[in-house]
Copies of this chain bind each other. A is one copy, B any other.
Amino acid sequence: MLKVDLVLIGRTSIPYLEAGIKDYTARIGHYCRFAVRELPSVKNGGSLSSEELSRREGALFLAILAEYDRVLLLDEHGKEYTSRALATQLEAMTVQGASKIAFVIGGAYGFAPAVREKYPLQLSLSQLTFSHQLVRLIFLEQLYRVFTILRGEPYHHD
């Protein structure tokens, strides 16, 4: 069965987002082996410059993401997809034989250049900026939607 992780950094600190994440994690679990994989925050991150923080987070991401055979970054510089196009993208990955896929949300300042260079497949959720905590819930709803599209289930209507 396909293994999919949502990889992110730092705790979800807002209780209502945590509740929503739990809800969608359970729903997505009907379609694949799914987990939210939370990497620990960089120690004393608050005392670092945004560049240095994102560089250190980047090193952590690069170490972890090597475990996956497909990686898609959620990045504001990425390409915008419709929900159906994202479903097609996920389907293409599995048709190409991917069995362990990571979707990745960066830290508060996004991804370091080294991470963006290594993983060019990048999705931008919106031209609007959303808080990186809220992005977790937004993306999970989207991933759930994508699976319902691939199964032809009646959740999504264009």
- List the interface of chain A (C-beta within 8 A of B): 14-17, 19-20, 23, 50, 80-83, 86, 109, 125-131, 134, 137-138, 141-142, 145, 156-158
Complex partner residue of A138 from B23, B130, B157, CB under 8 angstroms: B130
How many chain copies?
2
Q: Find out whether the CB atom of A126 lies under 8 angstroms from the CB atom of B16.
A: no
Min Cβ gap A114→B in Å is: 20
Q: Find out whether the CB atom of B131 lies under 8 angstroms from the CB atom of A134.
A: no
- Residues in B neighbouring A129, C-beta threshold 8 A: 82-83, 145, 156, 158
Complex partner residue of A127 from B14, B80, B130, B157, CB under 8 angstroms: B80
- Residues in B neighbouring A134, C-beta threshold 8 A: 137-138, 141
